[in-house]
Amino acid sequence: SAVISQKPSRDICQRGTSLTIQCQVDSQVTMMFWYRQQPGQSLTLIATANQGSEATYESGFVIDKFPISRPNLTFSTLTVSNMSPEDSSIYLCSVKGLAGGIRTDTQYFGPGTRLTVL
Amino acid sequence: TQLLEQSPQFLSIQEGENLTVYCNSSSVFSSLQWYRQEPGEGPVLLVTVVTGGEVKKLKRLTFQFGDARKDSSLHITAAQPGDTGLYLCAGSAMNRDDKIIFGKGTRLHILP
């Protein structure tokens, strides 16, 4: 399995500002994803982070609001732009498949970033 | 749209009791994972089941994948307060899509 770290672990932000969340993996992985988990809810996929190209967004999520970067096989960022209180949530990075390894369906998750927007 | 229905959504039982959580779908999955999530942390993988009819045991937890690969169950024997948490099932679709979908979760609370 891969060890995933996220920064920051939590933040409190003002309405209208932006926050960039970093996800670092200790080994090269083929796929990286970003999820949102609103209070008391399950996980909702925001997008798949693609190395060297634009992320693939799920219905209801757009690049202008959630720009994503993935410059290499171990790192990705998610920015939450022009925040509103409705963006208060836990944002989770997830990875699947060790690069060069056997294909696996199992996904692993980072510890999450707890965002509160005032 | 593929859906995973989990039941029950909430469960509060006394320490020492047994319980079963269910995860059902009308779709077939190539594999299914169970995660446990504690407050303030990300989901932690408990098990992956791949073969129809497969049963896996993790100490007091028993996981089963349905024969048709459309459903799964998690059975906990002699529940302990440390089992408290949010249990999530997640399925990998049979198509070329690499995404997994999550159930809504079962929030389990074990009373000492």
Please give the residue of chain A at the shortest CA–CA distance from B87.
A42
Please give the residue of chain A at the shortest CA–CA distance from B42.
A111
Q: Are strands B10-14 and B106-111 parallel, antiparallel or unpaired?
A: parallel
Using one digit for the tens of pLDDT, what is the confidence trace for B6-59?
A: 999 999 999 999 999 999 998 899 889 999 999 888 999 999 999 999 999 999
Strand partners, B7: B22
Do the beta carbons of residue A29 and residue A97 sit within 8 Å? Answer: yes
Q: Are strands A19-25 and A4-7 parallel, antiparallel or unpaired?
A: antiparallel
Among the partner-chain residues B33, B42, B105, the one whose CB lies closest to the CB of A106 is: B33
pLDDT of residue A102: 56
Angle at A97 between CA A96 and CA A103, to 5 degrees: 130
pLDDT band at A113 (very low <50, low <70, confident <90, very high): very high
Using one digit for the tens of pLDDT, what is the confidence trace for A69-111?
A: 999 999 999 999 999 999 999 999 999 886 666 556 678 899 9
Q: How far is CA B3 from the centre of its chain?
A: 14
Amino acid, single-letter form, for residue A83? M
pLDDT of residue B95: 64
Q: In chain A, what residues touch B30 (CB-CB under 8 Å)? A: 105
CA distances to A46, B2, B24, B41, B91 from A32, rounded to whole Å, are: 11, 21, 26, 18, 17
- Nearest Cα neighbor of B70 from B12, B4, B1 is B4
pLDDT of residue A95: 92
Tell me what the mean pLDDT of segment A25-45 comes to.
90
Cα distance between residue B101 and residue B55, in whole Å: 21
Q: In chain A, what residues touch B36 (CB-CB under 8 Å)? A: none
pLDDT of residue B93: 73
Do the beta carbons of residue A95 and residue A4 sit within 8 Å? Answer: yes
Using one digit for the tens of pLDDT, what is the confidence trace for B71-112?
A: 999 999 999 999 999 999 999 876 656 678 899 999 999 999
The reply to whether residue B40 touches residue A96, judged by beta carbons under 8 angstroms, is no
Q: In chain A, what residues touch B42 (CB-CB under 8 Å)? A: 4, 92, 109-112
pLDDT of residue B97: 61
Q: In chain B, what residues touch A109 (CB-CB under 8 Å)? A: 35, 42-45
- The sign of the dihedral angle between the CA atoms of A16, A64, B2, B43 is negative
- Nearest Cα neighbor of B98 from B30, B20, B23, B27 is B30
pLDDT of residue B2: 62
The reply to whether residue B41 touches residue A42, judged by beta carbons under 8 angstroms, is no
Among the partner-chain residues B31, B33, B99, the one whose CB lies closest to the CB of A45 is: B99
Among the partner-chain residues A96, A109, A114, the one whose CB lies closest to the CB of B98 is: A96
Cα distance between residue A90 and residue A38, in whole Å: 6
CA distances to A49, A78, B10, B60 from B86, rounded to whole Å, are: 26, 25, 9, 17
How near does any CA of chain B get to the CA of A89, in Å? 11
pLDDT of residue A103: 58
Among the partner-chain residues A42, A48, A105, the one whose CB lies closest to the CB of B104 is: A42
Q: In chain A, what residues touch B104 (CB-CB under 8 Å)? A: 41-42
Using one digit for the tens of pLDDT, what is the confidence trace for A15-33?
A: 999 999 999 999 888 889 9
Higher pLDDT, B101 or A10: A10
